[in-house]
Structure 1
């Protein structure tokens, strides 16, 4: 079921950001954070380090923020005389060194791996620079003539212990009263050869090199004998200007940082597209640059060099680095700032100025470790995290009392065999500001993947159902998540066709107008249970297994418990699976049964037999909004999208049916469901970076009824004893095909998110990997013999005419044969197509050969089949097999009409050979159902030229009432195939009927056809909106060994769904280029963001709406009582725009992990 993948797609390059930590290691870091000096030496602010009392100093706070918390914390005050201090730069320093726990030989505690360096190990390439606070030498005065400085052995000593391992160039300077005498110094950062606090470069791009660099930084902070590093000891002044100047030199000269110019040779081939930032963490006002008393070099008019100061002002150097593109951002964190109120205000103003020119607006000011970690996390989250996407953004739409939001989903790829791919799920809130909708920056409370990591306890009142007799899953409380699954009595059946108790519930109605599909090979009434260590190892490793230890490891890993190695990456990667939002049902339809259902007035049935909904149903118009997301660790997740108070879902307001959401914040995972066919493959996930596929199809959610019966007087043709228009139960059904994750599909009832119900898992021997996206429909059923088309009818199952909720499942991927196969004239060969100008289109007579059960050699999972699965029971009502389809059905299915409550009679899909099929379900007898080829999208190409179509066709009608199908091809899994030929078409179906209303001929008109550039792929479905058609594409373009940044570009197409009536066969453009001219396509010339970016999931969305109200006093004319109403008087209007994910597009904005394209239409 699972499969490996090589992370070589154009945008999955994991170009980790460079992020240099500039850490203040001056002597003041030995003081306590919350202490104001009252004496020059400030010894009163040193921490107490004695048995029972261990106060933390500033350095311990910074060290633990970076490397992890010590538990318990202990310290020791060590006078800097003799021993390790002999001959060192800080020997005899007036402040003792406050040793951290790891420096104390008797320390028996431990350090957690919760430092920023640990958390971002896989995401960020860190560098480190700490202060060189000695401008000359330890045995020389602070003012040294240039001539002396440049005379041996001074230069060598400056680069060693006496000069505190100075880095970069020596700096000349002078000052008032000394001119023209020139002095020299070298301070700022320590070089990499320093045994304490030495420079650590960002290193190479390999995972091993990055891990080694991260370990080296931690060792530089804490000490590591094995790496030849002593614990860092705060010392001396605060030469911030010199440190930032040394950073500039580092960025301009370090072989890991600079742009690559020759190959082979030093430099970064991703220089042009890698994010580079730095952060300064400091506790005080900069000094050591000879500005201010007693030297006052700035009084010479601020020149830099031999006629003025040794260093530029900090803000000037930062501004220069930003302007030159050497840095993208420079962050500033003021930690436990020194001084009285006036002194602190002066420091804050200076640090804010530096942050402003560093393109980070303003500095962070923090007082403790938690605030420091938050500031660092905020800065790091703004870096390009390497997240990318193959999904579409989803929007909440309007719902009373709920925040409007858009959700972004994707994944972070890992190239490390020990690290799993992990997912990204973010909420971008839209708030109304002065009546205008404004997108808010993403903060941690919007990052659902981070909130899942932090979830400490499982929500209560979650009751999954599914088996018979119905019994809710009982969660034992051992985990912080409610994970559940299906456990058939025989563990060997986990990969089978499994159902809940839908059949019994339909049968129990005992109604002559509602019939139950005939059971097949499915295993009914399978038990469900918590995903826990109580599950037998046989479900994981096969019948007979007793490996409880490995079972426990798998369960802990999937839950992401502390110590599993996954506690910081609990959300699996969201690769192809676009999430779905299910909220309150706020709108009526022209269907009274649906309206009663949404209001809790009828047509509801709880999976809990103890809950009677006949007189007091669920208020689905008030149900909490949930986003369902499927991840490749095999879990379907249910996350709350909004914050809910403790009084929102209670008995008092008659909404206690949704109590699981009470007093919960947005991002809470209510539950997660693991389809049973994944259980025996979950151990494959333990290999981490060996990419696995599980729940990879897009989540589909539909409101459907189980059965609706029709009386003869309804015009439905039913028997007279059929109840008039009776609908038994409506339900909100979630269904998911597994794509490359396996040959199956699962369905859940999520009508009430607090009481999810397992409906069924469908598998079949002929089902391939379910790449084709299924769909739901309501379809008429009535068996007869002979059938309405004159065929021989089968058993009479469906007696009076009735419509059933059905899931239509395409067969999926198949197995190719050798060479070409000739297609005979008939239903498999579309011979009735004409161009818009009336020219006959000749389809390919030869197409690829595909294996089936009768081929040599045979193939069982051939995918050449279409299934119609009953929603309520999971039974197969009908299937069209390999006798109908010569190629696998790996494309999605669309039904006409497929709206809620309507009855569908025809469906369309494209097979693996690029042939568009029409599936006819217009006869109520399933024995009459069939399929016929309508159009060969590759009619003028070679037999093996076809590209797949994984997205559903878009369906509409023209003014004459004829069905129009819009569909295109493109393989989003092979984006760098330069030879691929893809096209998008608009087709009008032309039907001929006989006197009995039966179809005699299927023909079609090719309204227009667009052939994309060679290698250009569609990257999402055709989006149809009000007669307008839009889609996005991507074409790969390779970089070089010197400049590896270019990987391709995207385009946006926009045309009318039909051809131009004034110029037959030609397109009607709907877009405008950068010059305002009509065009059918936009590229990076018109929208620069499309360059070097993968646009996926382009769709039309309604812009959020803001309504402004005013209080109006109203008097009841009958009672005379007055009340105040909020009456709307203005609105931002209903506008629409194009929206899609932009993967691999460089630095993100607004706190997003993945950029979003938004373009007006």
Structure 2
């Protein structure tokens, strides 16, 4: 007799992702509130020199590839992004041209007549400069971009999104402030009340102080003003305005974006008053309790920040300088009756760091000062200065007091040491500066965390014997200070285990075990097993250029939509051959990109530079000081970047419950396809990890040990030019989107070519004809707008990369129109794959499409509000009339690219139609008839959902949310795309103010009620930063889509809603199961009164349609849905921390419904009726898999199995089921 344990597929959830929330941050449990990081930036005149010498850069504003960069421009690019097509203009500050541009209402600028020229950075011939001066000097004034030789002509300024202030990991999670140098001893403020006074601003450089600083040398009886240090907030942005952090509960993105404008437009000049600036920083952080000049209800400085007071928010200073401090009267103010205006900077740093209540660390970066040659020709590397050199009388610092460059290094190191950061960082060029700043910010970011969703999957075909029956996957990241951030990707096996007491076979999660292959990152780092394979797409050569960041569509025949016809070719290889196959032009590398480390400032060739970056990235370069993996398997080996938002997707053999003969044939053909997990990491790769073998008897890589199980790593072409920004190691969000995978209908055209059209005719559909493909679409995430698509039907690396019928295939990349106009906003969003029925030529057909949201606005909201485009949208629930005003956004092509929803063919990337607020902002698409102008008011940031939404179903409508809490309905029912519609369906903030809206960040949940009406449940609230904010409201709504009274259209109707206040919001996606809607909410303030309260979570279970309180008024509906959550034999609406299960749960990151695998016990018997020659298998027992609510928590869970991820599980009752006769068959014995 033989027994086996097997997964019973008929009752298990197979390869379905559990919808659990993004693991967002929260006070204490995951991350404290975003830290305050005050940037003290050297804007002295020496920043106009090159980083390689004390000489000015060459500037030629008329041609490319000639201009050099000053230290200041390199710093600006590190913080704000690389300037495309860089040039510069050396502006003579004595000239009339300079005066005409920088005069302040007839008053000279502070640097008028300064001797050093201003090397103004430019994109082609476009330069940043002053905007319009406001009546109130504290109001924000946008900088303007104009032609350098025609200031009346506005222009577009183009930068890469690779600045540290752009980075997705820092932009939303660090509150930056900015101080620049005030080098004028005069105490002029530049304002009187709320009116500007540009004369005093010029004379005093907009001095910042709480009490004016004075000083005098020894022997001088009268103290004079010595008010230097930092400028104040009345300075125009282009004059180095002080940028505070904002109110304690403000989101940081808008302020961080404005800091970029200040840096981009500020002009370096003057001295280096570090002592005064550090003293001003101390006053600002500790003592400035003045009201915000624009809002008396808020504070300007962080002194009264309750998070600071509660000890859960850090204040941190980063000082960046290229010179020795001055303007402090030392040594002449020391001794006798002398009075020094400020303590020594290292003494101020010590005062800040040793405060027992609110200590402040001071990090220091010395830029372009580390290599010193003394007068005696001794070479000193400031990176190697010891504590002996700094403090001992016989050390270098005291032995050479007259060496100004050495003294700069000495002082900077003392400041860092006393600032509790041990020693200063030193950077010789832009790359080292980026790395130093990233290391500091990564150190502040601290512990491991996650913003992804866990994924559950069952093994197709079942696990037999000791094999797994299912899996769970957990992904996260760990910031590392001196390298790229580390990815964490864990697999948990679920096995069918025989209970010795009952002899039943039960599904049991197993402890994670590296030796069994459960740590996928460890497997890659181990160096064991198959070597890694890499692939990308190199764009076609165009007059010596490769346009990697443009839209690339190899399968489109002509430019039918205004996006252009630009193709590319896939290139495959191992670490070395792949690097060699990527042309330097594809990475934007020239012969002047990389400096020769042995002979600075000379350069190495473009090919050598390419190898430097790519061999380091893949781990092939083990000799470099920055090597990612010097020794495979060592603890410091780190070949997989951080998984930040890219929730993994798992796909095995086709197993959708689809009654289509063509799909059944497809499933049979791919019955042995391996199960793969796909996720993206921020070192720029999409990874295909093998989870389990589809043919274990004939497969050597079973993923049951720590051999490398990564089949391949793909770098989308648009990411290639950004590789430069992460070397030396610096964190960037290069690839951070969420992959979406779907099986879609296809026809091979021509036959046996490996090329497919994802479509079929109505007749073929009725006859069950067609082929199928598994397609993945993903946004780039982070700061890059756009999407790409890959065919993963066959995930195995092809033996011949040129075989069109084997392996994964690149389909397209969409980023911009052929004139460079962006097609999407910041980062894109999570896309949707569905099928529609439309006529694209040759009659209506089923066509697979991708629905691509615009994404976030790349510019901060303008601060005011504006009228909705449609003041009275029809067919909206009359009890919830939409707001007539909403948040105001910029009126440029970048902003309008975000206020869009685009429908594209999945096979070619052809834009069928793009719904946009202003067709003129997409002129080439409009000229090709591909724009439908609709009444979109805000960036479309939500996740679109189709109805019907199952595999192979033809969808006729979509629902998607925007950044301000409005839900939109998209009608795709017509076969003529010109008749498609996108209308406001419901405003969650109907009864609130114009700027009160919060984003619809998670996917709406669709179903139908008993009458067949579509139901929509959705929530509002940002998912990245979970923080208390007084007055903030978020919502959960249950809606119906029902015919209006006239029967001419569908209208929205609210079933019930739940209102959350002061920062409470739904965390993560919601799940619909057995007529109940399950979700979690997190409340940052538990009511204890402590600002740093870790908050509480609630788990909700409510009827998806029925309200708790019957009735039709809003007062009835606001009680939420009817109770459906089981609790000790009764049903409740929610559980909170009064429940023992949730008492210490902290933040619960959403809830999902899953079913453990069902296990069977089989017995093989010999049939004696036929003389013992026949055997048959019988099922002796079945253990149905339990349905569970699964939720991830930052606190204490109720499951312990070795995973780094804590979770809570609640068993649910098995839903009632019915039998359905699918077909009849005759049985003959």
* CA deviations over 1:452-474 (Å, ceiling 9, x no partner): 34442673xxxxxxxxxxxxxxx
- Cα distance between partner residues in 2 of 1:518 and 1:862: 16
Residue 429 in structure 1 maps to residue 493 in structure 2: yes
Per-residue deviation, 1:1134? 3.6
Residue 766 in structure 1 maps to residue 818 in structure 2: no
543, 565, 576: which is aligned to 2:627?
565
Per-residue deviation, 1:13? 4.3
Q: Do the aligned partners of residues 968 and 1048 (structure 1) sit closer, same or farther apart at CA in structure 2, a change above 3 Å counting?
A: same
Q: Where does residue 735 of structure 2 map in the other structure?
A: 695
Residue 705 in structure 1 maps to residue 745 in structure 2: yes
Matches within 5 A, 1:20-169: none
Per-residue deviation, 1:863? 0.7
1006, 1017, 1021: which is aligned to 2:1054?
1006
Q: Where does residue 991 of structure 1 map in the other structure?
A: 1043
- Cα distance between partner residues in 2 of 1:662 and 1:8: 35
- Cα distance between partner residues in 2 of 1:721 and 1:1085: 60
* CA deviations over 1:164-192 (Å, ceiling 9, x no partner): xxxxxxxxxxxxxxxxxxxxxxxxxxxxx
Q: Do the aligned partners of residues 623 and 777 (structure 1) sit closer, same or farther apart at CA in structure 2, a change above 3 Å counting?
A: same
Q: Where does residue 1080 of structure 1 map in the other structure?
A: 1133
Does the aligned pair in 1 maintain the 2:786–2:823 contact within 8 Å? no
- Cα distance between partner residues in 2 of 1:932 and 1:984: 21
* CA deviations over 1:655-710 (Å, ceiling 9, x no partner): xxxx987998786111111111111112222354x53212212221100113699x
Residue 585 in structure 1 maps to residue 654 in structure 2: yes
* CA deviations over 1:424-461 (Å, ceiling 9, x no partner): 111111122221111111111344344334442673xx
Residue 1109 in structure 1 maps to residue 1166 in structure 2: no
Q: Do the aligned partners of residues 548 and 770 (structure 1) sit closer, same or farther apart at CA in structure 2, a change above 3 Å counting?
A: same
Q: Where does residue 452 of structure 1 map in the other structure?
A: 523
Calculate the aligned-residue CA RMSD, in Å. 3.9
Q: Where does residue 553 of structure 2 map in the other structure?
A: 499
Per-residue deviation, 1:592? 0.7
Q: Where does residue 469 of structure 2 map in the other structure?
A: 404
Residue 1024 in structure 1 maps to residue 1072 in structure 2: yes
Does the aligned pair in 2 maintain the 1:708–1:803 contact within 8 Å? no
734, 746, 758: which is aligned to 2:776?
734
Does the aligned pair in 2 maintain the 1:823–1:846 contact within 8 Å? yes
Q: Where does residue 911 of structure 2 map in the other structure?
A: 876
- Cα distance between partner residues in 2 of 1:686 and 1:861: 33
Does the aligned pair in 2 maintain the 1:705–1:728 contact within 8 Å? yes
778, 791, 795: which is aligned to 1:749?
791
Aligned to 1:429, the other structure's residue is in SS state strand
* CA deviations over 1:524-559 (Å, ceiling 9, x no partner): 354434441442333324456544444333223322
Q: Do the aligned partners of residues 966 and 1150 (structure 1) sit closer, same or farther apart at CA in structure 2, a change above 3 Å counting?
A: same
Per-residue deviation, 1:1039? 13
Does the aligned pair in 2 maintain the 1:772–1:893 contact within 8 Å? no
| Unpaired runs of at least 5, structure 2 | 1-22, 34-311, 317-354, 360-445, 499-504, 594-604, 630-636, 750-758, 797-806, 817-821, 918-932, 1112-1116, 1213-1229
Q: Where does residue 787 of structure 1 map in the other structure?
A: none
- Cα distance between partner residues in 1 of 2:1131 and 2:834: 39
Residue 624 in structure 1 maps to residue 662 in structure 2: no
Q: Where does residue 440 of structure 1 map in the other structure?
A: 510
Aligned to 1:387, the other structure's residue is in SS state coil
Does the aligned pair in 2 maintain the 1:588–1:595 contact within 8 Å? no
Does the aligned pair in 2 maintain the 1:391–1:1096 contact within 8 Å? no
Residue 535 in structure 1 maps to residue 590 in structure 2: no
* CA deviations over 1:961-1007 (Å, ceiling 9, x no partner): 1111111012111211423321110110122498xxxx733422100
Per-residue deviation, 1:740? 1.9
Residue 924 in structure 1 maps to residue 975 in structure 2: yes
- Cα distance between partner residues in 1 of 2:447 and 2:1199: 10
- Cα distance between partner residues in 1 of 2:32 and 2:527: 30
Per-residue deviation, 1:565? 3.5
Q: Where does residue 820 of structure 1 map in the other structure?
A: 865
Does the aligned pair in 2 maintain the 1:410–1:573 contact within 8 Å? no
- Cα distance between partner residues in 1 of 2:1004 and 2:1129: 31
Q: Do the aligned partners of residues 8 and 1108 (structure 1) sit closer, same or farther apart at CA in structure 2, a change above 3 Å counting?
A: closer
Residue 802 in structure 1 maps to residue 845 in structure 2: yes
Q: Do the aligned partners of residues 824 and 537 (structure 1) sit closer, same or farther apart at CA in structure 2, a change above 3 Å counting?
A: closer
Q: Do the aligned partners of residues 823 and 1013 (structure 1) sit closer, same or farther apart at CA in structure 2, a change above 3 Å counting?
A: closer
Q: Do the aligned partners of residues 904 and 452 (structure 1) sit closer, same or farther apart at CA in structure 2, a change above 3 Å counting?
A: same
Per-residue deviation, 1:420? 2.3
Per-residue deviation, 1:1143? 3.2
874, 883, 889: which is aligned to 1:844?
883
Matches within 5 A, 1:349-388: 386-388=447-449
Does the aligned pair in 2 maintain the 1:699–1:736 contact within 8 Å? yes
Q: Where does residue 217 of structure 1 map in the other structure?
A: none
Per-residue deviation, 1:1074? 6.1
- Cα distance between partner residues in 2 of 1:894 and 1:721: 27
Q: Do the aligned partners of residues 831 and 265 (structure 1) sit closer, same or farther apart at CA in structure 2, a change above 3 Å counting?
A: closer
- Cα distance between partner residues in 2 of 1:684 and 1:440: 40
Q: Do the aligned partners of residues 1115 and 627 (structure 1) sit closer, same or farther apart at CA in structure 2, a change above 3 Å counting?
A: farther
- Cα distance between partner residues in 1 of 2:1161 and 2:1199: 32
Per-residue deviation, 1:1015? 0.7
Q: Where does residue 685 of structure 2 map in the other structure?
A: 635
Q: Do the aligned partners of residues 1031 and 981 (structure 1) sit closer, same or farther apart at CA in structure 2, a change above 3 Å counting?
A: same
Per-residue deviation, 1:926? 0.9
- Cα distance between partner residues in 1 of 2:999 and 2:689: 33
Aligned to 1:396, the other structure's residue is in SS state strand
Per-residue deviation, 1:597? 1.4
- Cα distance between partner residues in 2 of 1:1126 and 1:727: 36
Q: Where does residue 1156 of structure 1 map in the other structure?
A: 1207
Does the aligned pair in 2 maintain the 1:409–1:574 contact within 8 Å? no
Does the aligned pair in 2 maintain the 1:897–1:905 contact within 8 Å? yes
| Unpaired runs of at least 5, structure 1 | 16-204, 210-261, 267-384, 460-479, 508-515, 601-619, 650-658, 710-716, 783-796
Does the aligned pair in 2 maintain the 1:539–1:680 contact within 8 Å? yes
Q: Where does residue 963 of structure 2 map in the other structure?
A: 912
Residue 944 in structure 1 maps to residue 995 in structure 2: yes
Per-residue deviation, 1:758? 0.9
Matches within 5 A, 1:288-303: none
- Cα distance between partner residues in 1 of 2:761 and 2:726: 55
- Cα distance between partner residues in 2 of 1:414 and 1:442: 22
Aligned to 1:558, the other structure's residue is in SS state helix
1184, 1190, 1194: which is aligned to 1:1139?
1190
Q: Do the aligned partners of residues 1114 and 904 (structure 1) sit closer, same or farther apart at CA in structure 2, a change above 3 Å counting?
A: farther
Higher Rg of the two aligned structures: 1
Q: Where does residue 524 of structure 1 map in the other structure?
A: 567
Does the aligned pair in 2 maintain the 1:496–1:522 contact within 8 Å? no
Aligned to 1:1030, the other structure's residue is in SS state strand
Does the aligned pair in 1 maintain the 2:28–2:1092 contact within 8 Å? no
Per-residue deviation, 1:807? 0.6
711, 715, 719: which is aligned to 1:670?
711
TM-score (norm 1): 0.55
Aligned to 1:1139, the other structure's residue is in SS state strand
- Cα distance between partner residues in 2 of 1:583 and 1:723: 25
Per-residue deviation, 1:1034? 2.1
Aligned to 1:388, the other structure's residue is in SS state coil
Per-residue deviation, 1:1040? 12
- Cα distance between partner residues in 2 of 1:1071 and 1:662: 41
Aligned to 2:1055, the other structure's residue is in SS state strand
Which structure exhibits the higher relative contact order, with contacts defined as CA atoms closer than 8 Å and separated by 6 or more residues?
2
